[in-house]
Amino acid sequence: MDKSFILKGNICHTPVPGQLVIRENAFVVCEDGICRGVFDEVPERYAGLQVVDCGDRLILPGMTDLHLHAPQYAFCGTGMDDELLLWLERTAFPEEMRYADEAYAARAYGVFADRMKRGAATRAVIFATIHTKSSLILMDCMEKSGLVSYVGKVSMDRESPPELTEESAASAAAAEREFIRESLDRGYERTMPVITPRFVPSCSDALMEELGKIREEFDLPVQSHLSENPGEIDLVAELAPWSAFYGDVYDRFGLFGRQGRTVMAHCVHTGEKEAERIKECGVWIAHCPSSNMNLSSGIAPVRRYLDQGLRVGLGTDIGAGSSPSMFRAVTDAIQVSKLRWRLSGSGERPLTFAESFYLATKGGGSFFGKTGSFEEGCEFDALVLDDAVEPCARRLSVRERLERAVYLGLDERGIVMKFARGGLILEKKNR
Ligand code: GUN
Ligand code: FE
């Protein structure tokens, strides 16, 4: 199948935050990987294109997992009784050390990429580990999966176990340059490097400065963590006493959106000044509700961020997040927002289903440019979902069917076709 075709079915998307648009038995046109819009009849000018009849199935935009750690999929669902700093020490770091072994990395990243392929994400922004060769192995695996992704070799030179501490800021910078050059040399079609200071505690000022220079040199995006957990935030205040707030540290080194795209995971405890800076710099926030519950980090004030006009998407944050499902991230985001509303007394209304669906599709997708809905001109990422894998006696509207499929977590079982940039990357012939 080439990259020009038409899908026919029940099309659901959120071109505008909070507004679910449903077109039953409609046609969505993909031309050379670009969406040409949704139509009730096939327009004359597209009459020559192949029509794939999806019957009564749902057709949704592909989702973006805006923050996750590939090496942590190996322990996903275990080690959940600690808060962030202790969890890093006892669960995350010991696993990440194993990626010094490239044979292990090849096996583990193969399993990870296979899971990504089966899920609802067509795009992802991913942390690897400090190991250059293993990080390139992850890029090979992601390229093969068909997803469009950013992969970052992680930079760390302090406050970490010796096995995960790069020798010096200079050697960490050299390794980062090597990673970037090699990944660009490999000529991937859909896999791109991203600069990845793990978080402020694990990067010296000297390393941050180097990463700022590398960002400028290669003009690449940046990913990191921000204001996630109280223990971490105290440590940042200790390590960078000169900073006005946590995010100020990244900004000082040219790693906070002003100069190029940046995504920061969490922002659970972001105050007013930090939120203002995030807005000024155009930083994306990756909201990771499962992770925030598991590490007892708290509940991010997403309603406030949306009201302020900040850019927000959703992340699974595997493996602090305990589910690789983006459908689950959508419902977790709604559910934690309800708890925050009830418990905080702040009057911040909970997220609606349509708002959370937007965050998972167009919200996070905007980090990649124009994708995440079926508007004219978007890169065509789509899921064909067979919600009949979970039978239901009642006759439901298409809107109800979509909400039910997401709440019941039918992504892995129900996706029968998945497209990224117009390419068919998954097709199930089991029904
Ligand atoms: N902060 C620094 N590293 C990590 C990590 O691996 N996971 C999460 N959730 N937060 C972090
Ligand atoms: Fe994370």
- Are residues 357 and 302 part of one domain? yes
Span from the CA of 382 to the centroid of ligand 2 (angstroms): 26
In this predicted structure, what is the pLDDT of residue 333?
99
Asked whether the CA dihedral 373, 378, 381, 387 is positive or negative, the reply is positive
Contact 92 CB / ligand 1 (< 6 Å): yes
Span from the CA of 69 to the centroid of ligand 2 (angstroms): 6
- Are residues 12 and 44 part of one domain? yes
- Are residues 212 and 272 part of one domain? yes
Give the type of residue at 114. D
- Are residues 130 and 45 part of one domain? no
- Decide which of 350, 368, 386 is a domain's last residue: 368
* Inter-residue contact 427 to 416 (CB < 8 Å): yes
Specify the CATH number for the domain of residue 69.
3.20.20.140
Contact 317 CB / ligand 1 (< 6 Å): yes
Nearest CA to ligand 1 atom 11: 225
Structure tokens at 4: 């020009």
- Are residues 58 and 81 part of one domain? no
- Termini Cα distance of the chain: 20
Q: What's the pTM value of the predicted model, to 2 decimals?
A: 0.98
Q: Cβ neighbours of residue 356 under 8 Å, at least 6 residues apart?
A: 314, 330, 331, 333, 334
Tell me the pLDDT of the chain (431 aa) as tens digits.
699 999 999 999 999 999 999 999 999 999 999 999 999 999 999 999 999 999 999 999 999 999 999 999 999 999 999 999 999 999 999 999 999 999 999 999 999 999 999 999 999 999 999 999 999 999 999 999 999 999 999 999 999 999 999 999 999 999 999 999 999 999 999 999 999 999 999 999 999 999 999 999 999 999 999 999 999 999 999 999 999 999 999 999 999 999 999 999 999 999 999 999 999 999 999 999 999 999 999 999 999 999 999 999 999 999 999 999 999 999 999 999 999 999 999 899 999 999 999 999 999 999 999 999 999 999 999 999 999 999 999 999 999 999 999 999 999 999 999 999 999 999 998 55
What number of other Cβ atoms are within 10 A of residue 189's Cβ?
A: 10
Nearest CA to ligand 1 atom 3: 198
In this predicted structure, what is the pLDDT of residue 429?
83
In this predicted structure, what is the pLDDT of residue 16?
96
Strands 415-420 and 382-385, sheet pairing: antiparallel
Strands 5-16 and 51-61, sheet pairing: parallel
How many domains does the chain divide into? 2
Contact 69 CB / ligand 1 (< 6 Å): yes
Give the type of residue at 92. A
- Are residues 120 and 185 part of one domain? yes
- Are residues 299 and 218 part of one domain? yes
- Decide which of 323, 338, 368 is a domain's last residue: 368
* Inter-residue contact 421 to 368 (CB < 8 Å): no
pLDDT in tens, 343-395: 999 899 999 999 999 999 999 999 999 999 999 999 999 999 999 999 999 99
Which of 320, 365, 337 has the alpha carbon at shortest distance from 66? 365
- Are residues 84 and 56 part of one domain? no
Q: Cβ neighbours of residue 376 under 8 Å, at least 6 residues apart?
A: 35, 36, 37
- Structural domain that includes position 102: 63-368
Which of 69, 96, 196, 225, when mutated, tests ligand 1's pocket best, judged by the most ligand atoms within 8 Å of its CB? 225
In this predicted structure, what is the pLDDT of residue 349?
97
- Are residues 42 and 31 part of one domain? yes
Specify the CATH number for the domain of residue 12.
2.30.40.10
- Decide which of 334, 350, 368 is a domain's last residue: 368
- Are residues 67 and 56 part of one domain? no
Strands 382-385 and 51-61, sheet pairing: antiparallel
User: Is the peptide bond preceding residue 319 cis, with omega within 30 degrees of 0?
Assistant: yes
In this predicted structure, what is the pLDDT of residue 284?
98
- Are residues 130 and 19 part of one domain? no
Instruction: Report the C-alpha gap between 153 and 151 in whole angstroms.
Output: 7
Span from the CA of 142 to the centroid of ligand 2 (angstroms): 18
- Are residues 33 and 129 part of one domain? no
In this predicted structure, what is the pLDDT of residue 430?
55
At 310, give phi and psi (nearest 5°).
-80, 160
Task: Outline where DSSP puts E strands in 348-429.
Answer: 382-385, 415-420, 423-427
What number of other Cβ atoms are within 10 A of residue 129's Cβ?
A: 28
In this predicted structure, what is the pLDDT of residue 431?
52
Give the type of residue at 255. L
